[in-house]
Amino acid sequence: MAIYDTGKYNIWGGGTIVKASYVCGYCGQKVTSNRGMALEYANNVNRGVNDKPYGVFVCTNCNLPTFIYDDVQVPGSNFGEEINSAPEKVTEIYNEARKSYSTGAFTGVILLCRVLLNHIAVSLGADDDKTFAFYVSYLAENHYIPTGSSEWIDSIRKLGNTANHDLAINTRAEAETIIKFCEMLLKITYEYPSTARNLLNDSNR
């Protein structure tokens, strides 16, 4: 039954399924799976044969299905690593930005990360109800952002202001840049100090 037309591949079947390696959009694990249902060749001669990792794959970790065709993956995987020990609201906004990336909502990623940086700065003592540029400057001037990151900081300011004030559509690369920046900041600000405290507590027992 032809239910997905991709040219020569448009038949669902139970023939050979070529293994695919991907990051599961459900559990976040990098897996390699050859379990699932192949997207097969449409012509009768080659029906039941597929030499590409196209189809629906079952995650070997969580057993949930993912559709893969060329560079399309549904559901997509979140970008950026999970963060521990951050305030609950900060973690929620960061994870929402990562999920927005997985759906291709790159402008949404920029706007969410803008809000995220505001929340981080306020949690670290900045005054409430200030501008985005103020919060980025606050983080830099109070040394929450590592020395040597001035070029990165300027690009984040530009991305945040463009997404908020101009009729701009942001790209995948821009979304990845701001998520990685936020990930770095969250690790330095919350995760690494928490890990260090736990190590010191363990050594003093």
Alpha-helix runs per DSSP H in 68-131: 88-102, 106-123
The overall average pLDDT reported for the chain is 81
Q: Is the pLDDT of residue 15 over 60?
A: no
Q: Cβ of 144: how many Cβ atoms within 10 Å?
A: 14
How far, CA to CA in Å, does 138 sit from each of 6, 85, 164? 50, 22, 19
What average pLDDT does the segment 101-105 reach? 90
Give one word for 143, left, alpha or beta, with left for phi > 0 and alpha for psi -120 to 50.
Answer: left
Q: How confident is the model at residue 160 (pLDDT cuts 50, 70, 90)?
A: low
Can you tell me the distance from the alpha carbon of 178 to that of 111, in angstroms, rounded to the nearest whole number?
10
Q: Which residue has the higher pLDDT, 100 or 84?
A: 100
Mean pLDDT, rounded, for 103-119 = 90
Model pLDDT for residues 45-73, shown as the tens digit of each residue = 445 456 788 889 999 999 999 999 887 88
Mean pLDDT over 9-13 rounds to 50
Map tokens 């694990």 to a residue: 29
Is the full-model pTM beyond 0.75? Answer: no
How far is residue 82's CA from residue 68's CA, in Å, rounded to a whole number? 24
3-class secondary-structure state, position 119: helix
